[in-house]
Amino acid sequence: MKKLVSLAALVAVLAGCATGNDANIYGTESLAEEDLSTNSAVLNDSYLMAAAPKYYIGNAYKVDDVQYIPSEDLTYNQTGIAGIIPAELNGQKTTNGEVFDASQMVATSKTLPLPTIAKVTNLDNGESVIVRVNNRGPFVNTRIMDLSPAAAQKIGLNSQAKVQVQVLTEQSVMVKNATIGTPNDTAVTETSVTVAPAEAPAPAPQPEPVAASGDYTIQLAAFYAQDSADAMAQRMKSYGDAVVVNEGGMYKVRIVNLDATRARNVINALRTNEGMAPGLLKNGRWVNADSI
């Protein structure tokens, strides 16, 4: 009898996760859009590290008047409440075109790129799991993430619990690389993985040099080798004030001192001429590159 009651309680908990129309909004775009020690096995997991149908960030959107701005942030490390994705959604398409598999280690996020690889730790018991973030959600302001039933079980999450979510930089860059088809000899970037060609191609018309003032900074790439960063910065001088910043043990190539208009023009030019997906900072804080 006790086993039957426990089973009924579990079913009720899973069913409760689907309230508030959760089952109708996962995988849709109807809203308008420490050092990390990881198990090396994550690199060999064909499901976690597989290429996705597309690499998706999306536009800013609101949930009950709270705005969320999706962006690439390899330093993401947040704590909050996590819940469980309703098992009844098994087989449905996710926001980036994958198929939700309730038996795999997957999760949702309101702002992280899809796919992203992250470590989720249940702060109630210290148990951790590596997940592939491949869907938007949860579309409620009380939770920062929902886990598949399999991932939730892995960390002893039965309903909701406080968790820590940490993006795994190397693995996230690798899965983005696989998705967008960038070669393996790319530069490690915080917002993109790009190859610096030996010689600049004949570019389309480029923006005129920018005045040395403004709140915006564009990040192009981050290298472990300074000479590689210096070479890219020199090549990017035609787009503005390109500098190399030594930060976090890496040499980051940035175009600095841009106002909003110039930043928008430079981002468009980099996307068109160089095939880049540059990141954007405003007063030192990451913002969505499409928000200006």
Tens digit of each residue's pLDDT (9 = 90 or more) over 270-289: 888 877 778 888 998 888 87
pLDDT tens digits for 227-269?
Answer: 878 888 998 999 999 999 998 777 888 999 999 999 999 999 8
Contact 27, 101 (CB under 8 A): no
pLDDT band, very low/low/confident/very high, at 196 (cuts 50, 70, 90)? very low
SS3 category, 41: helix
How much is the pLDDT for 288? 83
pLDDT tens digits for 3-58?
Answer: 444 433 443 433 344 334 444 445 444 333 333 444 433 445 788 999 999 999 98
Q: What is the DSSP string of 197-261?
A: -SS---PPP-PPPPPS--SEEEEEEEESSHHHHHHHHHHGGGGSEEEEEEETTEEEEEEEEE-HH
Does pTM surpass 0.75?
no
Q: What is the CATH number of domain 182-287?
A: 3.30.70.1070
Contact 76, 112 (CB under 8 A): yes
Assess whether the region 15-172 and the region 182-287 belong to the same CATH fold: no
| Topology of the domain comprising 15-172 | Barwin-like endoglucanases (2.40.40)
Domain spans, the chain: 15-172, 182-287
